[in-house]
Structure formats: C-alpha cells, structure tokens
Amino acid sequence: MTLPLPTPGDDELALSTQLAALIRAEIAAQGPMPFSRFMERCLYAPGLGYYSAGRTKFGAAGDFVTAPELGPLFARCMASALAPVLRELGEDAEFCELGGGSGAFAEAVMLALDDAGNVPRRYRILEPSADLRERQRERLSVSLPAASFARVDWLDRPPEKAWRGVLFANEVIDALPATRFTLSEGEVFEEYVSIDAAGRFMRVDRPADALVSGAVRHLERDLGTSFADGYRSEILPQLPYWMQAVLGSLQAGLVLFVDYGYPRAEYYRPDRDDGSLVCHYRHRAHGDALWMPGLQDITAFVDFTALAEAGNHAGFAVAGYSSQAQFLIAAGLASHFEQASEKADAAECYRLAQQVKRLTLPGEMGEKFQVMSFVRGLSGAALLPGLVSIDRGFRL
C-alpha cells in the first residue's frame, strides 16, 4: 500500500508555487523543457530549488537519511580507508568533498583523521548551495578544534589548480540532472516536460538529439541488445564531461564515490522498463517527479558501468568496485564499533548497533549502495588492504 504524501505547509506551498511559475514561464517562452532541465530547476534553481532553499533536507527532520547522518561509524571507516593515501602524498595532500550535506561527514572524518595524525593540509567542500554551506560552516566551527576548522574552506566550482589528495562523494551522482529516454518504432526519443490545457505539468516525448541518441545506442552496443519499443529509463550523457571537470586537476590521488545503483546489465534489465527515478519527501519515496517542484528530492540510480567509463575517460583507473557493506567491513567497521562501544552506555551501544545494521544489511544500505574508487599516481600500498578480494569489477 502506498502511503499518501504529507501535506506541505503554507511556506512550502508558496515556494513551490513560485518555482513552478518560473518553470511554466520558461516552457511558455521556449517550448517543452527536457526532463533533465526540469530536474535541474527543481533541485538547484537559486533560492527556490530543493538544494538551494532553506528547508531541512537531511536526517529525521528532513526528507531522507544519508549514511553520515546515522552517526560517525561510516566516516571513521572512510578515514581508515583514505588515511594511507594522505600519508603517501605527504604534507601537501588535500581532501575535497563534493556536496557536504549537513556537514556530518566532514565533522566525523576530520575528527578521525586528527586522532590518527593524518589531517589534510586543506579540507575543501564543493557546495553550490549557499544555505547548506552556511549550515556546514556553523556546524564545523563548533564541532572541530580551531586548528582543524582553519583548514576547511568552501568552493563554488571544482579546483582549477593542480592538486594531490582525496576526492570523496557520497550520494552525488544520483542527484545529477538525468535525461529520460524511450524508444518508439526503434527510434530514440527524449522525455520533455510541457503544460496541459489546465496549466499542469505533463510529460511528452520528442525525437532525441545526436548526443542523447548516440548515448543510448552506445548502451545497446555494450549490452548486446536493442531496447524494446516503450522501454523508458535514464541516462547521463553529460557524465564524461562532468567527470573531466571535477577530476581533471587532480594530479595524483584517490577518488571515492558512494551511491545507490547497479552495473549496467542490471540497471537496464528488460523488466526495469520505467527506469529508476525516485523522489523523497518527508521520508516518503514515490515516483512523481512533477509533484510540487522544489519541495522534494529527485534522484535516479547510478549506472556504475557508465561511472567507470567516465573515470577512465578522465585519466583514472578503477581501483575497486564493491557493495558498501563489503567496503566498510574491509575498512575496519568491526574495530570502530568495538572502540566506540567501550566508551558507551547501553543506550549508545544500541544506537551504534543500529548504525551497523543500517550501513550493512542487504535490506538497508549494505547492498543497495555501492562504492567505486579511482586512482592516479598512487602506489598499491596506499590502497585499502583487501580491496582486491572484495572487488566486483567483473560485474561492470
């Protein structure tokens, strides 16, 4: 049974109405809008988009919970996995986090790296949302030692000068504006958003341009089969260019992506014929991306084969691909749990156990989330021990 979505408050309705009016005006002036543009406006329109407005997004008071919001164990495991990279690269090593969320990850990972004596020279957060940036700044200024906080700064765009270190991204790729495609009489069409006679948003299909059509044909060649008429899914034709922009200046280091998704053959299964698009509002998941622009998160699962291709195109080698559960266990989750439990009372031990369950159980985040790492200019000694034994790269 599908639960009804909670009723938005008056302030939320006013914000959504304003954003919807801007989108309608653009459609009226320019014609039907590619779904990817609609998704971009809903998520990132200045002052109105989901990630640009001031409403709480993460944790129990928001719309969904990310791994760092559960507690510090996730970040401590990541610190253990990434510390050898920082040590090998030396005192000039930097840490760059894409999309800092509430600041929970930066807080926990910096404290863990400080405890281990591996604090990077700079901790940079690439955060396009002014609202989230201010929340992160407030949180970290209170929770981090003054010397560690002094190493933190914020970026409006990917680093342009050459640097060495670690780039980390948790649930970032799923929030890139996705292109929706379908097939009709063997031809590729792209999904657009238009307006019906009553002024409501509606989906329409239009012939795809060369970029989208070429990207879909690449999928078919790689999968060894053609999509059936009526099959509908998502694709990120811009992903290779995005990866080059984000990773291009990283001369040597490790890149770590954590997200929910599948390898290509599973992503584009014949029975998954309406894609993977999912929306989140107040801890309810549903599939209507046209509902209340600006009030809900809109995401699509990640094609990790496409991510691997894009990383290779940017000059990086895939170092490992595994489930989140496998990666965290290899990064010392059991040890971190034991250390935290030694200092905890019964209530805190229970919360720690719940963290472990949410992070690792197959029905929770353990299998749904995948971890992919890329390397350039590092020795094998800097990589997480056991990475080879858990690698699922053969599935890509």
pLDDT in tens, 39-54: 999 999 999 999 887 6
146 and 15 within one domain: no
Q: What is the CATH number of the domain that holds 362?
A: 3.40.50.12710
pLDDT tens, residue by residue, 281-317: 988 889 999 999 999 999 999 999 999 999 999 999 9
2, part of any domain: no
d(CA 23, CA 199): 11
- The percent of residues in the chain predicted with pLDDT above 90, rounded, is 87
Which residues are registered as beta bridge partners of 183? 188
Q: How many degrees, rounded to 5, is the angle at CA 308 between CA 219 and CA 64?
A: 95
208, part of any domain: yes
Domain boundary (296, 316, 340) is at 296
285 and 313 within one domain: no
210 and 130 within one domain: no
Mean pLDDT (whole number) for 188-208? 97
Residue 388 has pLDDT above 90, yes or no: no
367 and 227 within one domain: no
47, part of any domain: no
- What range defines the domain where residue 26 resides? 10-42+176-239+267-296
20, part of any domain: yes
37 and 182 within one domain: yes
Give me the number of domains the chain comprises: 2
376, part of any domain: yes
Mean pLDDT (whole number) for 141-170? 96
219 and 249 within one domain: no
386 and 327 within one domain: yes
User: Residues 40, 63, 279, 18: is their CA dihedral positive or negative?
Assistant: negative
60, part of any domain: no
52, part of any domain: no
Q: Which of 71, 11, 26 is nearest to 359 (CA)?
A: 71
Q: Which of 123, 120, 129, 70 is nearest to 101 (CA)?
A: 129
Taking a C-beta distance cutoff of 8 angstroms, is the pair 38, 50 a contact?
no
pLDDT tens, residue by residue, 178-195: 999 999 999 999 999 999
**Predicted pLDDT at 384:** 87
Q: How many degrees, rounded to 5, is the angle at CA 108 between CA 387 and CA 105?
A: 75
367 and 245 within one domain: yes
Residue 205 has pLDDT above 60, yes or no: yes
Residue 169 has pLDDT above 80, yes or no: yes
pLDDT tens, residue by residue, 313-330: 999 999 999 999 999 999
pLDDT band, residue 386 (cuts 50/70/90): confident
Q: Where are the beta strands (DSSP E) in the chain?
A: 33-34, 94-98, 122-126, 152-155, 163-170, 179-184, 187-195, 201-207, 232-235, 250-262, 278-281, 284-286, 297-299, 302-303, 317-323, 369-376
What are the angstrom distances between the C-alpha of 219 and each of 69, 103, 129, 228, 250?
A: 35, 36, 33, 13, 29
Residue 249 has pLDDT above 90, yes or no: yes
Taking a C-beta distance cutoff of 8 angstroms, is the pair 300, 337 a contact?
no
120, part of any domain: yes
127 and 235 within one domain: no
pLDDT tens, residue by residue, 77-136: 999 999 999 999 999 999 999 999 999 999 999 999 999 999 999 999 999 888 889 999
What are the angstrom distances between the C-alpha of 240 and each of 16, 174, 183, 251?
A: 32, 15, 23, 18
Mean of all residue pLDDT scores within the chain? 94
Q: Which residue has the higher pLDDT, 378 or 65?
A: 378
292 and 215 within one domain: yes
195 and 235 within one domain: yes
192 and 77 within one domain: no
**Predicted pLDDT at 62:** 57
Residue 63 has pLDDT above 70, yes or no: no
